Amino acid sequence: MSPFVPIVAVVIVLAFALVLLATASAGKKRAKGGARGRKLGGKDRNQVLKEANRRLASNPKDGEALQALGDILWDEQDMERVAKTYEVLSEISVASSHLDEFTANLRYGIACLRLSRLDEAYKGLAVARTIKQDNFDVNFNLGFLEYQRKQYDKAIILLKQSSQANPEHSLSLRYLGHAYVKTHAYKEALGALRRAVDLDPEDKESLFAMAECFYELGNLDQSLKIFTHLRADPVLGPQSALFAGTVHLNQNFIDKAVQDFEIGLKHQDVKVDVAVELKYRLAAAFLKGNEIGKAVSCLSEVLTLAPNYKDAPLLLARYRELNSNRNLQVFLMGATSEFATLCRKVVIQFFPKAKVKITDIQVQKNDYADVLAEIETSKWSDVVLFRFIRSQGTVGELMVRDFHARVKDVKAGKGLCLSGGTFSDEAKKFVEARLIDLIEKPALMNLLNVIDSRMKTPLADPE
């Protein structure tokens, strides 16, 4: 055997090994190149953009080119093109392990959310959350989206997670607090809203929501403090004035309530529904203050803006009549002393040409007055008990039974029960066999119309 044969064999083996190694290396490069293509990173923006567009022109689903283009568009916040680019990426990334499926769906969802394409946004963000459930961006944006969709319970879960991941993120706390308000969890809302306002003192809507929470929790002083502060705000001012006025009205601070409502109405571009409610409650404040004319004017304005609003038509009809009849005003709404004087005048002129001696007047809780009088005419004389009921509604049987018992107690021969409204059928049936007459509004109005409310009563005080 030639001494060169073993050497040749070794050379051949080494050569073969080198060929295999080279082939394997080439295969790896081809595989890598087939999956990722030529890298687009490391170039300036224009070069990357030019290369990406060139490759996408020949292959619209080139993953690397789409990712490079998406990064540029995302940095520039071109949301229309971001949504379009990442929509394609989110579709092809499912079957391509080298593509970033999470980022594709996250950015697609955020872009659609900012474009108010809520269904598409939900699709992208929901997929992103199945990949990473503890990601701040996913939880905040999906939580905000659920808030927009009025799915407040779902929003709370997501926004709690995002606020825990980033306790300094004011928007997470803001919408978490507002979501709690929507679900009437006012104590929880206050905690989130306080932190949101601390982080962003200019967040007036969260400050307003805090005042609502205080109001609902019965802390009226705190709510009133905030609402009063916000009355001057050009956006939240009208509604804040409405709340402040309502609190003052319920506390019987009539002048302050009127001031609040009037401040609310001075704002420009007040929403119609808020303006209507402000005028309606301003009318209520005027009525509490016995300023009937001003109340009638407000109610007229309410019906101009919103016909048939609540009970405004009924109130307007009632108080328009009151506004035109001073005696009726005194009968229903006047001070106790004025009411008692008016009742005496009615008693005096009730029986024409009779001699009348009033022996007792009692006013019960400003609800009604009992006037006991000795009546003497040319044909008869008797003791008569009058009851004047300050109501425009329906008087029931119980009131009439009480009056009957009172008639017997004072040993009156007859009872006259007068009301500014009507009597129920049961009440009328009760007096059928008894010496009691029921006098309803039309007859009472006839009596009131012939009395000069400014006239001093000619009789002395009761004995």
Are 240 and 286 in a shared domain?
A: yes
Are 342 and 439 in a shared domain?
A: yes
Are 385 and 289 in a shared domain?
A: no
Are 315 and 353 in a shared domain?
A: no
Are 276 and 302 in a shared domain?
A: yes
CA distances from 222 to 30, 79, 218, 283 (A): 71, 42, 9, 26
Q: Is residue 368 part of a domain?
A: yes
Among 148, 144, 147, 149, smallest CA distance to 162 is for: 144
Q: Is residue 34 part of a domain?
A: no
For the entire predicted model, the pTM comes to 0.73
Q: Which of 290, 324, 358 is the last residue of a domain?
A: 324
Are 342 and 421 in a shared domain?
A: yes
* pLDDT digit string, tens, across residues 377-390: 999 999 999 999 99
Q: Which of 15-29, 61-75, 99-113, 206-220 has the lowest mean pLDDT?
A: 15-29
Q: Which of 324, 351, 373 is the last residue of a domain?
A: 324
Q: Is residue 111 part of a domain?
A: no
Are 295 and 259 in a shared domain?
A: yes
Segment 205-219 mean pLDDT: 97
Per-residue model confidence (pLDDT) at position 365: 83
Domain that holds residue 426: 337-449
Q: Which of 288-292, 303-307, 357-361, 387-391 has the lowest mean pLDDT?
A: 288-292
For residues 439 and 4, give the distance between their C-alpha atoms in angstroms, rounded to a whole number: 144
Are 268 and 342 in a shared domain?
A: no
Are 388 and 423 in a shared domain?
A: yes
Looking at the 3D structure of the chain, how many domains does it have? 2
Confidence label for 318 from pLDDT (cuts 50, 70 and 90): confident
Are 285 and 347 in a shared domain?
A: no
Are 303 and 342 in a shared domain?
A: no
* pLDDT digit string, tens, across residues 413-457: 999 999 999 999 999 999 998 999 999 999 999 999 988 644 444
Q: pLDDT higher for 357 or 43? A: 357
Domain holding 272: CATH number? 1.25.40.10
Segment 350-368 mean pLDDT: 93
Q: Is residue 27 part of a domain?
A: no
Domain holding 361: CATH number? 3.40.1350.10
Q: Which of 324, 359, 379 is the last residue of a domain?
A: 324
Per-residue model confidence (pLDDT) at position 290: 87
Q: Is residue 128 part of a domain?
A: no
Confidence label for 21 from pLDDT (cuts 50, 70 and 90): very low
Segment 182-186 mean pLDDT: 98
Q: Which of 251-260, 264-273, 325-334, 397-406 has the lowest mean pLDDT?
A: 325-334
Q: Is residue 277 part of a domain?
A: yes
Are 347 and 312 in a shared domain?
A: no
Per-residue model confidence (pLDDT) at position 366: 81
Per-residue model confidence (pLDDT) at position 41: 56
